[in-house]
Structure 1
């Protein structure tokens, strides 16, 4: 795998203007949870969960979302270990972005995703109107929402 430079959110903020929609991604081995920002970068909304297949299928699905919603930037969850160190899952995201970033002409950055899936599971635990399978599928989009909303909150406080 070729070398890949991780972009953190503070670097992206200088180039991604308010008015451009952002897509939050919770990268998993079986799914990609997606969330969408409003153009003002105030609110993140869960969008959908994509079942992962071959990489080309992932790219086509993401390209459709990017086109349909006018997305200009990606915030992808950065799965640090609880200690704050990078681990095997972090390397998986690096490898995925090394293949994905050149294919998409977008701003992008990583954002700490620790506890996002746990928060989504906690939120969904009380929803008895959904089957277990539907809850599990919704969790990934909710985790993407937590990741993106946290990044949007950081951007709101730190925007120049």
Structure 2
């Protein structure tokens, strides 16, 4: 049995493939997915929680197989003080069931947990900014929370890579030509941007 653990830098960006983000709630489970290069996370689906037969875990495992997922990130809902709550224990239990099911089915995808204390607040804000009415939030907020969890994990992994090797920025702006043509430099010899 592979044990699921919380980690400050869970993702291995050297591993090419999709990542699945999961927000485990009391009623629903939001799911998000990255592209194969793990550049961008997008909403995928919302699953209904099934505390008796664990159909939500079974469906999540099928999504891992269907989308060739290499890593799964499950949000760890800690109290603001950092303490574990009933929601924390429920999410850890859900993540462990998913990991066990993946292992039984022969999937090599690893399941990680990351702190998700601010994801619900961020998700509601992003939905409002996108012009989605509060009435519609109920059906979309779980998927948006999964996107936020996944994006946070990706950002943390990218920062860790950059910290280990400052020459690697992970940004596409490295190839931008920063030279000025002669007319721009002669028109403004001080180099001021006017």
1:117 aligns with 2:117: no
Q: How far apart, CA to CA, are the structure 1 residues paired with 2:146 and 2:89?
A: 19
Aligned alpha-carbon RMSD (Å):
2.2
1:47 aligns with 2:44: yes
- Tell me by how many angstroms 1:67 deviates: 2.3
Change (3 A) 1:55 1:155: farther
- Tell me by how many angstroms 1:72 deviates: 1.6
Change (3 A) 1:129 1:32: closer
Q: How far apart, CA to CA, are the structure 2 residues paired with 1:110 and 1:18?
A: 18
Instruction: Provide structure 1 residue ranges, at least 5 long, that are not aligned to the other structure.
Output: none
The aligned counterpart of 2:144 is 142
Q: 2:33 aligns with which of 23, 31, 36?
A: 36
TM-score normalized with structure 1 length: 0.84
- Tell me by how many angstroms 1:135 deviates: 2.5
- Tell me by how many angstroms 1:149 deviates: 0.1
Aligned pair count reads: 154
TM-score normalized with structure 2 length: 0.70
Larger Rg: 2
The aligned counterpart of 1:66 is 64
The aligned counterpart of 2:190 is none
Q: How far apart, CA to CA, are the structure 2 residues paired with 1:66 and 1:5?
A: 16
Q: How far apart, CA to CA, are the structure 2 residues paired with 1:131 and 1:117?
A: 13
Instruction: Provide structure 2 residue ranges, at least 5 long, that are not aligned to the other structure.
Output: 165-194
Change (3 A) 1:128 1:155: closer
